[in-house]
Amino acid sequence: MNSIVEHDPENRYQRTAEKLGEGSFKIVYKAFDSELGKEVAWNQVKISGGSKDSKEDKLNKILEEVKTLQSLKHQHIIECYHSWVNQETEQVNFITELMSGTLKSFVENRKVSVKATRNWSRQILQALHYLHSQVGDKPIIHRDLKCDNIFINSHNGEVKLGDLGLSTTMVETHAQSVIGTPEFMAPELFDEKYTEKVDIYAFGMCLLEIFTHEYPYSECCNAAQVYKKVMRGEPPRSLERMENVAVKHFIEDCLRKEDERPSAEALLEHPLMQDVDGESGTPPSAGGMGGGGGGSVGGG
């Protein structure tokens, strides 16, 4: 058993030294909720670099994002339970639910059926529809949707969106900053003027990766080459190798120009997303596709 190395101010959450994931701005540790008696993910964001005012601006931005995350309540979005700031270490900490692993790691060495992917897709689209329907006419955009940021409970096939730290509430008609993963970024994201439809484009790329087991634009050597292809409207070569014509056309719909791209709500009504053989919206059993989903990773 991992020893406890840190507690939250209320002494409810206990952090271990076991890392579940690490990014450019965040480290995720395994932790324990002593009140509910369950494992959780302890997310730690370090505020470093710049002047005191600059750090304060960063702190306020992160706290605003975490506050947004805590306000989201949807069965297919990683839930954020608690957050606080450690002024001494200049860190923002927030606790989220713990999932079995990422969808990327789960499908990496598995051939996944269209039926299973349909169930995952419906769950993802339901979450996106929820995000895009927030705050009246000011939807929340994920902006960094990819298989690495979609988490799965491997025992029941339930998926949830995580790593919403890059998402933003649109204050005006369009958001005005570029951030994300080039291979999953819609052309308009590079132009710094975009809407929630960028998440639909990224969702299409996620499906492409799931079915082909190939990262989009893997034929490119660097981000500059990816950028050129994206701006020319040239899809990844892996799309040409899609054997399922119906799924290929569905992905192509997701990759259309922004004004032609369907909404999450519209995609949920697409024939490909409809129930088959009377199946409901319940997720598929992951056990039928090869068991567990790799190492545990915390969302958020």
**Which is nearest to 157 in space by CA: 203, 200, 99?**
99
Backbone φ and ψ for 253, nearest 5 degrees, come out as -60, -40
Place of tokens 């999953």: 184
2's tokens: 């991992």
Dihedral over Cα of 167, 170, 173, 174: its sign:
negative
- Closest by Cα among 103, 106, 93 to 165: 93
Find residue 194's DSSP bridge partners.
175
Residues 6+ apart with CB under 8 A from 175: 141, 143, 168, 194, 195
Q: Which residues are catalytic?
A: 163
CA–CA distance, 222 with 247 (Å, rounded to integer):
28
What tokens appear for 177 in the block?
């900053």
**105-122 burial, b if ≥16 CB within 10 A, otherwise e?**
bbbeeeebeeebbbbbbb
**Cα separation of the two ends of the chain:** 24
Residue found under tokens 């975009």: 194
Residues 156, 149: Cα–Cα separation, whole Å = 18
